[in-house]
């Protein structure tokens, strides 16, 4: 489905000329191909803040190919960046706090707020970013790093840490018009070594439709250092609902990272599912996930044919929309069973039979509707909210085996389902995000793929919204 305001230059010019109060979205820069060793190659990244992560950030950014511009009162702030800069041929530049050289533009801002102690310290985000925020290039990135508020022993410290999330969410909605996104990352003490893959993802084009989101990096799940490229080489991934849409896009992206993808869908979707599997060099598994014997069949097939599975993506789902007073019992039962009940039954069986290998990844599809609710979707919203609760409870249970469990909550994504919406509703839904447009199946697939990688070991029990900074929900 084509977005007229995004793709049609004449329409864009007309809206701007007439001065109509309609957001004209910026075409987002999206990643092409598999993970790169240097995803930030030659990007100018402003590093600011008075936290204690400068050495860590220096290693992450220079290795990823970025050119760091470090903000501080003296050039002593460059010291942690000199060694890594020499190692990765990236010379750091010093910028005095409050200065922004005329004509200079940047691609990203990384603010280290791990040292905030009180609400007064929140002034740092203003002082460091104010001179630069309007210098961000199109499809720019802002990442604000802090410590979890829940870990603070003093209420004032917790308040300052929590303030970073509110700041970032609001900033994202101010800067989204040029395709720029902003997210926050809260790093548990002792989990700093797990920050790298998260920061690389959020600063790269792979996070094009993720904005206003808090990411929490923890020590909960066991895991080792992960590769930067070919991140799923030798892994087996199961994707349900793989015949089309988000499932198809996810299967393609997982395969591009080296995974052998088992494409699961209903027997009725044999033809499209087989085409996807053939195109990516994967395998086909035709099962109706609501069948009583589905969990056992899936577990047995994965065990016998592939020796187990490393990544499980629960993407299959349905909508059966009606207001509660008009909804038939079978519509309620179908939505809840497919979207939630089957997910739990299959996951339980894969864990009980030890088909999901140690270090595995579970990614479940929730929805913004499950977070914010939506008229006529009580069944769907209940099931998708249930997914959020499921991964939160599951994560600590499987952490000792290095397994993570997370959910993805898509917002308005351009699929065959949204193309069937009335035009007016579809246009409003597209514009109700910070970036002023709908997402693509590949945007959701990129988030799923990231959570499926070994490098995402620090993120578990989370629900990540892929919604472009939707103006509804949390």
Structure tokens belonging to residue 383: 């099931």
- In the listed set 155, 182, 217, which residue is the last one of a domain according to the structure? 217
Structure tokens belonging to residue 233: 């080489």
124 within some domain:
yes
pTM: 0.94
Residue 150 parent element (H or E): none
Q: What is the pLDDT of residues 103-152, one digit of tens each?
A: 999 999 999 999 999 999 999 999 999 999 999 999 999 999 999 999 99
30 within some domain:
no
In the predicted model, is pLDDT for residue 90 greater than 70? yes
Residues 117 and 74 in one domain: yes
Find the CATH number of the domain harbouring 165. Answer: 3.40.50.720
22 within some domain:
no
DSSP one-letter code for 394: H
Residues 430 and 460 in one domain: yes
Q: Which residues pair with 356 in a beta bridge?
A: 309
Residues 274 and 312 in one domain: yes
Answer yes or no: 35 catalytic: no
Q: Where are the alpha helices (DSSP H) in 139-215?
A: 155-175, 195-203
Angle, helices 195-203/54-63, rounded to nearest 10 degrees: 50
Instruction: Report, in angstroms and rounded to the nearest whole number, the Rg of the chain calculated over CA atoms.
Output: 22
- In the listed set 184, 217, 250, which residue is the last one of a domain according to the structure? 217
3-state secondary structure of 248: helix
- Which domain covers residue 333, as residue numbers? 236-466
Residues 188 and 110 in one domain: yes
How far is Cα 9 from Cα 399, in angstroms, rounded to an integer?
50
Residues 399 and 372 in one domain: yes
How far is Cα 289 from Cα 304, in angstroms, rounded to an integer?
19
Check residue 7 and give its pLDDT: 61
From residue 255, alpha-carbon distances to 223, 261, 307, 363, 398 in Å are 22, 6, 18, 16, 25
Check residue 242 and give its pLDDT: 98
Cα angle for residues 217, 223, 224 (degrees, 5° grid) = 105
29 within some domain:
no
In the predicted model, is pLDDT for residue 13 greater than 70? no
Q: What is the pLDDT of residues 302-357, one digit of tens each?
A: 999 999 999 999 999 998 989 999 999 999 999 999 999 999 999 999 999 999 99
Side-chain-side CA neighbours of 98 within 13 Å: the count stands at 3
Check residue 228 and give its pLDDT: 73
Residues 131 and 201 in one domain: yes
Check residue 5 and give its pLDDT: 62
- Smallest CA-to-CA distance from 262 within 244, 245, 240, 279 is with 240
- Smallest CA-to-CA distance from 139 within 47, 206, 50 is with 206
From residue 257, alpha-carbon distances to 98, 187, 240, 450 in Å are 42, 26, 18, 10
Q: What is the pLDDT of residues 205-262, one digit of tens each?
A: 999 999 999 999 999 999 987 777 779 999 999 999 999 999 999 999 999 999 999 9
324 within some domain:
yes
25 within some domain:
no
Residues 162 and 106 in one domain: yes
Question: pLDDT band at 8, cuts 50/70/90?
Answer: low
Overall domain count for the chain: 2
Confirm if 337 and 289 have CB atoms less than 8 A apart: no
Residues 54 and 140 in one domain: yes
23 within some domain:
no
Q: What is the pLDDT of residues 402-441, one digit of tens each?
A: 999 999 999 989 877 666 666 667 777 788 899 999 999 9
Question: pLDDT band at 279, cuts 50/70/90?
Answer: very high
CB count within 10 Å of CB 63 equals 18
Check residue 227 and give its pLDDT: 73
- Smallest CA-to-CA distance from 171 within 130, 138, 206, 218 is with 130
Q: What is the pLDDT of residues 342-370, one digit of tens each?
A: 999 999 999 999 999 999 999 999 999 99
Residues 209 and 244 in one domain: no
How far is Cα 423 from Cα 364, in angstroms, rounded to an integer?
30
Check residue 267 and give its pLDDT: 97
Confirm if 73 and 99 have CB atoms less than 8 A apart: no
Residues 396 and 452 in one domain: yes
Q: What is the pLDDT of residues 152-185, one digit of tens each?
A: 999 999 999 999 999 999 999 999 999 999 999 9
Residues 86 and 127 in one domain: yes
- In the listed set 163, 183, 217, which residue is the last one of a domain according to the structure? 217
Q: Name the phi and psi angles at 95, rounded to 5.
A: -130, 125
Q: Where are the alpha helices (DSSP H) in 19-154?
A: 54-63, 79-87, 123-129
- Smallest CA-to-CA distance from 220 within 391, 445, 351, 408 is with 391
Residues 158 and 279 in one domain: no
226 within some domain:
no
- Catalytic residue (choose from 215, 380, 390, 412): 380
Q: Which residues pair with 187 in a beta bridge?
A: 217
């Amino acid at each position: 489905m084509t977005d007229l305001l995004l793709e049609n230059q004449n329409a864009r010019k007309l809206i701007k000329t007439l001065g109509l109060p309609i957001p004209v979205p910026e075409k987002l820069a999206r990643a092409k191909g598999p993970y790169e060793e240097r995803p930030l190659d030659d990007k100018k990244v402003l590093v600011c803040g008075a936290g204690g992560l400068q050495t860590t950030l220096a290693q992450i950014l220079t290795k990823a190919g970025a050119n760091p511009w470090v903000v501080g009162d003296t050039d002593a702030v460059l010291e942690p960046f000199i060694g890594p800069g020499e190692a990765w041929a990236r010379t750091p530049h010093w910028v005095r706090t409050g200065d922004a050289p005329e004509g200079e533009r940047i691609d990203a801002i990384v603010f280290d707020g791990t040292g905030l102690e009180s609400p007064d310290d929140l002034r740092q985000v203003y002082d460091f970013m104010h001179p630069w925020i309007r210098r961000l290039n199109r499809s720019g990135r802002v990442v604000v790093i802090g410590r979890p508020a829940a870990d603070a022993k003093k209420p004032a410290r917790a308040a300052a840490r929590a303030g970073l999330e509110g700041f970032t969410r609001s900033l994202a909605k101010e800067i989204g018009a040029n395709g720029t996104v902003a997210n926050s990352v809260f790093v548990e003490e002792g989990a700093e070594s797990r920050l790298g893959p998260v920061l690389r993802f959020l600063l790269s084009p792979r996070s094009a439709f993720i904005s206003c989101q808090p990411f929490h990096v923890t020590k909960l799940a066991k895991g080792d250092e992960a590769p930067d490229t070919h991140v799923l080489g030798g892994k087996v991934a199961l994707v349900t609902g793989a015949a089309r849409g988000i499932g198809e896009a996810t299967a393609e992206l997982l395969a591009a990272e080296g995974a052998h993808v088992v494409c699961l869908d209903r027997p009725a979707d044999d033809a499209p599912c087989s085409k996807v599997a053939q195109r990516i060099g994967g395998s086909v598994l035709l099962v109706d996930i609501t069948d009583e014997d589905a969990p056992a069949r899936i577990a047995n097939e994965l065990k016998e044919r592939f020796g187990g599975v490393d990544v499980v993506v629960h993407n299959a789902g349905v909508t059966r929309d009606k207001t509660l007073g008009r909804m038939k019992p079978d519509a309620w039962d179908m939505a809840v069973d497919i979207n939630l009940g089957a997910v739990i039954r299959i996951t339980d069986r894969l864990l009980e039979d030890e088909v999901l290998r140690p270090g595995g990844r579970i990614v479940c599809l929730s929805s913004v509707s499950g977070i914010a609710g939506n008229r006529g979707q009580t069944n769907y919203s209940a099931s998708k909210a249930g997914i959020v609760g499921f991964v939160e409870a599951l994560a600590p249970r499987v952490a000792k085996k290095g397994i993570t469990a997370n959910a993805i909550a898509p917002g308005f994504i351009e699929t065959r389902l949204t193309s069937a919406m009335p035009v007016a509703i579809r246009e409003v839904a597209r514009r109700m995000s910070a970036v002023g447009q709908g997402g693509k199946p590949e945007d959701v697939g990129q988030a799923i793929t990231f959570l499926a990688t070994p490098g995402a070991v620090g993120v578990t029990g989370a629900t990540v919204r892929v919604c472009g900074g939707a103006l509804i929900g949390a």
